[in-house]
Structure 1
Amino acid sequence: MGGELVTLFLAGDVMLGRGVDQILPHPGDPGLAEAYVTDARTYVELAEAANGAVPRRAAFSWPWGEALDLLDAAAPDARILNLETSVTRSDDAWPDKGVHYRMHPANLPALAAARPDVCVLANNHVLDYGRRGLAETLGSLAAAGLRTAGAGRDLAEARRPAVLPLPGGRRLLVFSLGMASSGIPSSWAATAERSGIDFLYEASDAAAADVAGRVRRAKRSGDLAVVSIHWGSNWGHTVPRDQIRFAHALVDGGADLVHGHSSHHPRPSEVYRGRLVLYGCGDLIDDYEGIGGHERYRDDLRLLYLVSLEPDTGRLDHARLVPLQTHRMRLRHASREDSDWLHGVLTRSSREFGTRITRDPRGDLTVHPGTGSRLPPVGVHP
C-alpha cells in the first residue's frame, strides 16, 4: 500500500527548567542545590550579559521564537522531543548530583506551544527532584494531554511505547530509553516495584537485542518505529563504536529511525540500510547562553530535524535540517554564515558514515539517503 511520505519533527534536548522557567509567566522557586550557582535567575543574567535584555513573565511561546512558524509551515505528521526537565514543585533535589532542572507545572503551556505529540523522558534530568518529582511530572504531563515514553510508575509503564496514529491507518511507535553514559544514575532505573526510567547500563549487544525484540513484538504490519536514546557525553563529535553497533542492531531488529540525544551540539548522522540514525541532535532549548568554556562547538546553534520517511518501508526519503540560533533565550533563524559553519562541521564529522549532506540557498541542510554507511557490518566493528 503506497501513500504520502511520513514527516516527523524530531528535537534534541528541550530544557524548559531552571533559567528558562524563571522568564515564563509562573516561575518556580529559583533556589538551586548546585555547587556554584544557587539561584536559577543567574542563568538569565548570564544570557543578558552576552546578548541583551530578556523579558520576565515572557509569553509562553518566547523560548521557541521563530521555530513555531517553521513547524507550522512544515506541518509534520508527528512531533517528538526530549523533555529534559522535571515538571514539579518538589524540593527533593537528588543528592550528589551537580545540576538540577525543574519547571513549574503552571508553565506547561510553554511546552504545549510546540504541540508535541510525544515527550520522551528517559534522560538525566527527569528525576532531578526525586520520585515525588517524577510522579508530579508524569501527572502534570498527563493532565495537559501530553503523551510520554521512557518513564513510568514501574518498569512496564516506562517501557511502554507511545503510539500515534498516522495517515492511512498506520501507527507510529516511539520507544524511549536512557544510558548511563549520559550521566543517568543507575538508581533511576524503573523496576517492577519502583518508578523510574527505562535505563540501560551500556550499549551492549545483549541490551540491543532486548530492545529490538520489544520493537518487533510491538510492531504491526504498516507500523513505523522510532527508538529515542539519551546517551553519550555532552561534547565532541566522535561517536563511540558501541553506540554505532547498538544503533545498527536496532535497525537490523526493526527500528525505522534512531533518535539520539544528550550532546549539547549536533553530532553525526548516518543512513544505515536506508534508515536514518541521528547520533546526537543537540540541544534545542536551554539556559546555557552566556556560559563559556566550549565555544568551539558553537552550542548557540541549534537544528530542527524534519525527517521524511517512505510509509511502506520506513526508509529515509530525506531529512531537512533547519539551522537556528538562541539569542536572548529565544530561537531565531541562523545567519547564512552560521548555517555554512554547521554544514561544514556536520559534513566532516559524518564523513566516515558516508552521509551526504547538502545546503540549499536558504541555508537549510538536507541529509540524503546516499549510498549507505562506509563502516563495516555491525558484527565486525573493531
Structure 2
Amino acid sequence: MSITLAGECMVTRPFSVFDEPGFVGVLDRLRSADLTYAHVETNFGRFSEVQAPSRGDQIGSYFLTDPRVAGDLRWAGVDIASLANNHSMDFGAAGLLATARHCADAGIAHAGTGRDLEEAREPSYLETRHGRVALVSVSSGNKAHEWASPPKATLPGRPGVNSLRPIMRYLVDEDAVTQLKDIGRRLGILRETRSGVEGSSGLLTHAEDGEFSLAMPNDQSTTGSNIFTPSDHFEVVSSANKWDTAGNLRAVAEAATMADLVMVAHHFSVSEGARGNTPPRFVRDFAHACIDEGADIFVGHGWHKTLGIEIYKGKPIIYGIGNFFAQSEFVRRVPFDGYESWGHDVERLGTLTPATHPLHPGLTQGSETWWSSAVLSVEMAQGELRGLRLHPVELGREVSRTASLRRSVGSGKHPLTDGRPFTATGADAERVLERYQRLSADFGTDITVKDGVGSLTL
C-alpha cells in the first residue's frame, strides 16, 4: 500500500480553480497514492449553523471555512483526516459537529471529535483496494470544556475532542524548593500533599508525596498548572493522563484487530517550555506505546513546524509533519475575542475588520518553518515499512529566517501570503530536507537527499 501524508491544513479559501504546475504537481502526488491522509485544522461550517466562539483567553486564530472547501480537499485526493486539535471547538459543539458532517458529506473519513468521548475516541475506518485502514486521532493542549466526556446515568456526554491530557512536572533543586515554598507561604498560595489546606482540591490531583504546587488564584478552581518536584537539577518533565492513555491504547488495539493498516494522529499544541526541535516526552512515550499496541504509522503535528522522524520497531513515527496549507490570514469573520487578544482597541470594534494586522500567530515575524514542510510518501507491505520519501513544499514564502514573500495576495500595508503548497526547489528544498536530516539523525534515522527528494535509508 502506498500512503501519502500531508500536514496541517489551515485552509480557508477554495483552491480547485488553480492549475499552476507547481501546485498541481503536489496534488497529483496526493491523488496517486492508495491512501492520502491530512490533518484538518479548521472548522467547516456556515455562519448560520455555528455557535458563538467558545473561547476568549488565547491568542490565536478562530477558524471557520466555507464547507465547500472540504470538497476541494477531497478533490485534491485527501481520503482520511484527523480533526482533533486546539481549534476543534472554536465555534462550540455546533461548529465541531458541522465540521465532521461536512467532511462526511465530501467523502472524507475522519476521526478525533464527536458527540461524546466514545464517538471522539473510536477509530475511523476506510476501505481501500489494498486493505482496510483505521485512524485514531488525539489532541493535547485543549481547554477543559473542549474535552469530550462519556455519558453517565441520565446525563449526556459532552461533545468535544479525544484528549490526551498532559501533566507537567517542574523539577527544581533544593535551594529552589526552599525559595519557592517560602514565597508560596508568604503569598498564601503554597499547597503540599497531605496538607489539607482549603483550596487544595484539584491542584494536587496528580501529585505524589513530597511534591507541591503554587495555587495561582486563576487556577484554584481547576486541576492546576504546576507540580514542583524536588530534584538535583532543573527540568520540565511531561507525562500523559493515565486514563486518557489507557482509553486511547484500547482504541488502537481495536483498530489493529479490525483493520490492516493503523494510523495514529496526535495534535499537540503544548511543549516543555519553548517550542524547540524536540517533541515533549509524553508525546514520544505515547508514540512508542501506540506502536507497541499495533499502530503502523504515527503522525504528530501542532507546532506548525517539521520535527524528526524515528523508526521504532520498524514503524515510522513522524513527530512533526508541519503545515500543508497556511491561510489563517483569510479567515472571513474574526470574533471580538480575536481583536481583543491581539491588543486592538475594542472600543472601536465597528471599525475593525479581518484585514486588521496583526490577528494571527506565526505571521508577525519571520519563520523558517511556518511556510514549508514535506509531503511524505510511505510504502507499506505486510505491515512492514518498505520505503519513505520526502517531497518538500513551500507555501508562498522563501524557506529562510526572513521568509521573503513569493506569492502574495492583495496590496495592503502587510502583504498576505497565498498559503498553498507548491513543489519546493533549489535552496528551499535543500533547507526543508536538511532540517529533516538533522532532526531525524537524533533518533538514529538516516535520510539521504538526491535531486530535491529525501529518502529514508532502511
Q: TM-score, normalised by structure 2?
A: 0.64
| 1:373 alignment counterpart | none
Matched, 1:172 2:128: no
Residue from 356, 365, 383 that aligns with 1:293:
365
Q: Deviations over 1:71-107 (max 9, x none)?
A: 4356211111110001122351123143211102233
Partner of 1:364: 453
Paired position in structure 1 for 2:90: 128
1:95 paired to 2:55 = yes
Letter matched to residue 323 of structure 1: P
Q: Measured at CA, do residues 63 and 303 of structure 1 come closer, stay the same or move farther in structure 2, by a change above 3 Å?
A: farther
Distance verdict in 2 for CA 1:189–1:107, change over 3 Å: same
Query: 1:212 touches 1:254 (CA, 8 Å); kept in 2?
Result: no
1:36 corresponding residue in structure 2 = none
**Paired positions, count:** 317
1:200 lines up with 2:164 in the alignment: yes
Moved more, 343-352 or 124-133: 343-352
Does structure 1 conserve the Cα–Cα contact (< 8 Å) formed by 2:138 and 2:265?
Answer: yes
What CA deviation, in whole Å up to 9, does each residue of 1:326-366 have, x standing for no partner? 123132221221222222222222222101111112x0111
Contact 1:172 1:225 in 2 (8 A): yes
Deviations 1:144-181 (A, max 9, x none): 2222111111222111211122335x31111101012x
CA distance in 2, matches of 1:152, 1:14: 20
Alignment partner, residue 72 of structure 1:
28
Query: Which region of structure 1 is more displaced relative to structure 2, 248-257 or 225-234?
Result: 225-234
Aligned residue in 1 for 2:387: 318
CA deviation digits over 1:179-234, x for unaligned, max 9?
12xxx222111122221111121252834443223222332377111011101448
**Cα 1:287–1:64 shift into 2, 3 Å:** farther
1:301-327 Cα offsets, whole Å, 9 max, x none, are 2211111112x1x22212111111112
**Per chain length, whose mean CA-contact separation is higher, i.e. which structure has more relative contact order (CA < 8 Å, sep 6+)?**
1
Q: What is aligned with 1:8?
A: 3
The whole-number CA distance in structure 2 between the counterparts of 1:118 and 1:101 is 20
User: Cα 1:205–1:195, aligned 2, differ >3 Å: closer, same or farther?
Assistant: closer
Aligned-pair Cα RMSD in Å: 2.4
Partner of 2:38: 81
Shift of 1:64: 9.4
CA–CA distance in structure 1, aligned partners of residues 83 and 118 of structure 2: 15
Matches within 5 A, 1:210-229: 210-220=247-257, 223-229=260-266
Q: 1:244 to 1:86 in 2, by over 3 A?
A: same
- Once residues 67 and 229 of structure 1 are traced to their aligned partners in structure 2, the CA distance between those partners, rounded to angstroms, is 27
Q: Could you tell me whether the CA contact under 8 Å between 1:60 and 1:109 is conserved in 2?
A: no
Asked whether the 8 Å contact 1:64–1:114 carries over to 2, the reply is no
Counterpart for residue 274 of structure 1 = 314
Letter in 1 for 2:3: L
**Alpha-carbon distance between aligned partners in 2 of 1:125 and 1:309, rounded to the nearest angstrom:** 32
CA–CA distance in 2 between the matches of 1:279 and 1:64? 31
Q: Aligned partners of 1:288, 1:222: CA distance in 2, in Å?
A: 35
- Structure 1 residue 111: deviation in Å? 2.1
Distance in 2 (CA, whole Å) between partners of 1:294 and 1:233 is 21
Say if 2:379 is the partner of 1:308. Answer: yes
1:147–1:162 Cα contact (<8 Å) kept:
yes
Q: Does 1:352 align with 2:442?
A: yes
Segments of 5+ residues of structure 2 without an aligned counterpart are 151-156, 167-238, 330-361, 397-406, 408-417
Quick one: distance in 2 between partners of 1:108 and 1:331?
Answer: 16
1:187 aligns with 2:187: no
Distance 1:153 1:91, change over 3 A: closer
Q: Where does the alignment leave 5 or more consecutive residues of structure 1 unmatched?
A: 1-5, 25-58, 370-382
Shift of 1:291: 2.1
Alignment check: 8 A CA contact 1:225 1:256 kept? yes
Q: Does the Cα contact within 8 Å between 1:63 and 1:331 map onto a contact in 2?
A: no
- The amino acid across from 1:211 in the alignment is N
Normalised TM-score (structure 1): 0.76
C-alpha distance in 2, partners of 1:12/1:63? Answer: 21
Higher mean alpha-carbon deviation, 348-357 vs 280-289, is at 280-289
Report if aligned partners of 1:188, 1:197 keep a CA contact under 8 Å in 2. Answer: yes
2:69 to 91, 95, 107: 107
Q: Decide whether aligned partners of structure 1 residues 368 and 83 sit closer, same or farther in structure 2, where only a CA change above 3 A counts.
A: same
Q: Does the 8 A contact of 1:323 with 1:339 survive in 2?
A: yes
Q: What per-residue deviation string (whole Å, max 9, x for no partner) do you get for residues 36-83 of structure 1?
A: xxxxxxxxxxxxxxxxxxxxxxx5354997354344356211111110
**Matches of 1:274 and 1:67, distance apart in 2:** 32
Specify the structure having the higher radius of gyration (Cα): 2
Question: Is residue 256–residue 295 contact of structure 2 (8 Å, CA) maintained in 1?
Answer: no
DSSP 3-state at the match of 1:200: coil
Equivalent residues of 2:51, 2:94 under 8 A apart: no
